[in-house]
Structures are given as structure tokens and as C-alpha cells.
Amino acid sequence: PEFVEETSAMLLSAYPWFGLSIYGHLGDGNLHFNFVSPEDPGATYRNEEGIREILYSQVNKFEGSISAEHGIGMLKLDHNYQFKDPLEIEMMRKIKNAFDPKGIMNPGKLLKTE
């Protein structure tokens, strides 16, 4: 509850023009933050990086994860490196290499290709 209250207040302070809808999965603690601006549907996309910065910084502060059930993907790839411990990234790389030594399964979706 503290995460939701604090993060919502920060987001609405920075972007008072949008409506905030939060929903998730009670069983595993995943939350989805949706941002809507009825007057200007494109406003969320134009402010996407600022929104992500606030949201992901808060997720990091509360020791959460930005991946949820859909994984990291290309949109969150750089943020994954920004907020994950380098050792964690290295462990992820070693596990991926063990199962996918040729790097053919979803290249560039979880880890940057070298």
C-alpha cells in the first residue's frame, strides 16, 4: 500500500492531467499502472520516459521488479540494466547461455546482444 500511495502521489504531482488506473494480480503481487489522458490521448506517449523514471525508481526503492509476467522486452531493456545489479545481469546471461548457446531464442529481448 505504501508503494501505491507514494508512487501515485508522485506521478499525479508530475502529471496532474492524466487519470491513473492501477490493477494487478493479488496472488503474485504484480501491479499494472495505466495512464490515460482523455483530453489528449498522445500525452502519455510523449511523457513516457518521465513516467517510467518515476515509476521504475519507486519500484527499485521498494525492491520490486519491472518485469511482471510479460518479461522485460525491448522497451524495458535499458531500464533492466539501469536497475538490476550487475551480478544479477551476469547470472542471467550465464543461464541464458546454458540454455541457448547460439543465442537464437528471443535475441535482445532480455539481455543485450554483444
Q: Kindly state whether residues 30 and 78 are assigned to the same domain.
A: no
Q: Kindly state whether residues 47 and 84 are assigned to the same domain.
A: no
Query: What residue numbers bound the domain in which 8 lies?
Result: 1-64
Q: Kindly state whether residues 75 and 99 are assigned to the same domain.
A: yes
49's CB contacts (< 8 A; 6+ apart) are none
Rounded percentage of the chain residues whose pLDDT exceeds 90: 39
Q: Kindly state whether residues 49 and 76 are assigned to the same domain.
A: no
CB atoms within 10 A of CB 86: 8
pLDDT, tens digit, for every residue of 20-33?
999 888 777 788 88
46's CB contacts (< 8 A; 6+ apart) are none
Total domains in the chain come to 2
Query: Which segment, 19-23, 36-40, 76-80, is predicted with the most confidence on average?
Result: 19-23
Q: pLDDT-based confidence at 55, cuts 50/70/90?
A: very high
Checking if the pLDDT of 39 tops 80, the result is yes
50's CB contacts (< 8 A; 6+ apart) are 14, 15
pLDDT of residue 69: 61
Cell of 38: 482523455
